[in-house]
Structures are given as structure tokens and as C-alpha cells.
Amino acid sequence: MKAIVCKTYGPPENLALEEIDDPVAAENEAVVQVYSASLNFPDGLQIQGKYQFQPPMPFTPGSEVGGIITSVGENIQNFAVGDRVMATPGIGGLAEQVAVKADGLRKIPHSMDFKTAAGFAMIYTTSYYALKQRAQLQPGETLLVLGASGGVGLAAVELGKLMGAKVIAAASSNEKLEFVNRLNPDALLNYADGKLKERVKELTGGTGADVIYDPVGGDLFDQSCRCINWNGRLLVVGFASGRIPEYKANLALLKGSSMVGVFLGRFRKEEPAEYEKNFAELLEMYDAGKLKPIITESFAITDFVDAFNVFTERKVMGKVTLELKKE
């Protein structure tokens, strides 16, 4: 089968599309024929050797796919050959086939295509966990979403609105804000001029945001600490800016605020029942037409360098997928 293979850390140009052996399902796995695979920001970090979890070389990146089960291990229950699924293998997804453990498989609604399936799991489960469990977001509170045009940012805007919050969608350009505006946030904020703190204060009557969703880090995190409301929660989701910031504890003392980490993988391991409940609720929202994932760019598998560079060049808006097989 064809697969994208990483043999040396570096830019996407270092990757190669190669023929490798087909996967064989272990007793608790199913093999999925990949129709569509999603790219996520951590994939770009992983191929550069900059992610907190690095697989041994060589490896095939790709953490979520949509496709059809072609074989199952002897201990697999509730799934069968021919099932249409979204799958989160963790690694190996940018290939024509991938072996996935049972807990990484979800049957998809008939209304969901494979592109949507490939881009659903990580962004929605991350953002829902962040807002529901970590921030305990309440109706009427003000939610500031940084990096709002990216995958997790869009999901946070969408879910924040559904949860009854006043949502301020923030991004680094007017083009990105125009894109986010299709989700009808309550306010838009361009932070390219470095005045995030001042603009948030203007939009909130001087109080600041109750919850700040930050997948960017760096300077934006620093400013967020200064425009958060009393009893506010600053969600640490990621560091897309490239700089891991330092937290000034005196600001937490003065504002009565909390810095709250959002690590989906650990949540899934430590609280599997709550994770499954969240996932079921998200699929119910999708089936009811309340969630509408936005896939903005799809590339052929042979154009994987261009697909990765959407992330490396900070151009991403919505979700990016690689297409391996037509439905």
C-alpha cells in the first residue's frame, strides 16, 4: 500500500510517498481502508521532532481518518467488515490502510461523509472537553477564542455558542475573521496589532473574558493573563506560536483566575467513561444538525507537501484533508 513516511525530522519536503506492507489486524484491532485523512497541527510538529510524543523512526504520521473496515481481529466486538467509521489511530493515518484499536473506532451517521469523519474527532472532543469539563463554561459568560479560524478554534466558537456563551472570535487577520463569521460569533477581534488586552477590555466593558481558549500561546497568552475576568479560566490548549509562555502567578492572585491545562489524551485515559459520554453527545449534536464541521481544503495524497505547508505557513482556516480514495 502507499503511505507517507517520515525517515528524518524536518520540513514536509523530507517526507516520502512509498510502498509499504499492508497492516494486519491484531486481536483487538480493525484494519480501515482510508478514504480521507485529516491533518492536524501536531502532525506538523511530529515530523519536525518537536512534539511531546515522538514515535520511533521511520513512521507514518496521521492521527484521524474516515473509511471502511476491511478486516477485524478476533476480539473485536460491535464492528464488522464494511462498517463506515471515523478512526483515531494516533499514528499511521496518512496511508491507504491503517490498523486501529477498538477504542479508536466510531461508526458514523449515514449523513456524514468520509471527509467530515476524518476531521471531526480531535477538534470537537478537544474543544468540548476544554469548555465543558475544564472551564465549566456557563450560559451568559464571555468566551474569548484565540486562533478562532483553525480547527479547534472553530469548534470552540461553535460549541461556545451552543452552550449559551457570548463568544468573541479572535484571529490574526481580517480574512480569517471573515471566515469565522459564518459561525455567528457575538464579536470579532483582530489581534495582529498586538492590542489584544485593550480590545478585549473594550468588548467586555472593562471586565475581561470569563473563559479564554488559547491554542496559540506565546505573546497572546501573556496578554490573556491581563484581560481575564475575576474568577476567569485561561485554557492552555496548545502552542501554535512556537513559544511556550511562562505564567505570572501574581496575576492569578490579583484576578482570582485559574490557568487550566487541556490534554485530551490524558483525559481519555484517566476518565474514559466521561470521554465516551462527550463523544456520544457530540455525535448527537451533529446528527441533529447543530454541528457543521468546515472542511476548507482537500488535497490528493500526492500533494501532501502542499497540504502540510498550509500549517507551516500559518494559512490554515478550518480543516485540511488528504484524499486517498473516492467514495
CA proximity to 171, closest of 194, 151, 146: 146
Same domain, 107 and 144: no
In which residue are the cell numbers 490573556 written?
Answer: 224
What pLDDT is stored for residue 110 in this prediction?
A: 86
* pLDDT bracket for residue 231 (50, 70, 90): very high
Does 164 map to a domain? yes
Beta strands 319-323; 295-300: pairing state: parallel
Which tens digits make up the pLDDT trace of 65-77?
999 999 999 999 9
The model's confidence at residue 240, banded by pLDDT at 50, 70 and 90, is confident
Q: Are 181 and 312 members of one domain?
A: no
- Tell whether 83 and 215 lie within a shared domain: no
- The residue written with cell numbers 480590545 in the block is 199
Same domain, 244 and 181: yes
- CATH (domain of 225): 3.40.50.720
Residue 232 covered by a domain = yes
Domain boundary among 245, 265, 285: 265
Tell me the Cα Rg of the chain. 20
Domain boundary among 222, 250, 265: 265
Q: Residue 271's pLDDT is what?
A: 96
Residue corresponding to grid cell 511556550: 244
- Kindly state whether residue 278 falls inside one of the protein's structural domains: no
Residue 273 within a domain:
no
Q: State mean pLDDT over 241-259.
A: 84
Measured between alpha carbons, how far apart are the two ends of the chain, in Å?
18
Q: Are residues 106 and 127 in the same domain?
A: no
β-sheet bridge partners, residue 2: 19
Alpha helix positions (H), the chain: 41-46, 114-118, 121-128, 151-162, 174-180, 196-203, 218-224, 249-255, 264-270, 272-287, 304-312
Who has greater pLDDT, 277 or 315? 277
Query: Are residues 65 and 11 located together in one domain of the fold?
Result: yes
pLDDT of residue 137: 98
Same domain, 250 and 128: yes
pTM of full prediction above 0.85: yes
Residue 280, in any domain of the structure: no
Beta-carbon contacts of residue 290 (< 8 Å; ≥ 6 apart): 162
Of 3-7, 43-47, 197-201, 304-308, which range is least confident? Answer: 43-47
Predicted confidence (pLDDT) per residue in 55-112, tens digit: 899 999 999 999 999 999 999 999 999 999 999 998 999 999 999 999 999 999 888 9
pLDDT tens figures, 30-50: 999 999 999 988 888 899 888
Q: Can you read off the three cell numbers belonging to residue 167? A: 463568544
Provide the domain limits for residue 184. 122-265
Are 161 and 241 within one domain?
yes
CATH number at residue 85: 3.90.180.10
Does the pLDDT at position 241 exceed 80? no
**Is the per-residue pLDDT at 253 higher than 90?**
no
Tell whether 193 and 87 lie within a shared domain.
no
Last residue of a domain, one of 228, 250, 265: 265
Predicted confidence (pLDDT) per residue in 127-159, tens digit: 999 999 999 999 999 999 999 998 899 999 999
Dist. CA 6–CA 308, nearest whole Å: 13
More confident residue, 216 or 327: 216
- Please report, rounded to a whole number, the percentage of residues in the chain having pLDDT higher than 70: 99
Give 268's pLDDT tier (boundaries 50, 70, 90).
very high
Give the number of domains in the chain.
Answer: 2
Query: Do residues 138 and 247 both lie within one domain?
Result: yes
Say if 287 falls within a structural domain.
no
HSE value, Cβ hemisphere, 13 Å, CA-based, for 61: 29
At 311 the pLDDT is 73
| pLDDT recorded at residue 248 | 83
How crowded is residue 229: how many other Cβ atoms within 10 Å of its Cβ?
21
Report if residue 17 sits inside a domain.
Answer: yes
Q: Look-up: residue for cell 448527537? A: 284
The mean per-residue pLDDT over the stretch 265-275 comes to: 94
Residues 222 and 173 both lie in one domain: yes
User: Is the domain of 142 the same as that of 220?
Assistant: yes
What is the pLDDT of the chain when averaged over all its residues? 92
Task: Please report whether residue 113 resides in a domain.
Answer: yes
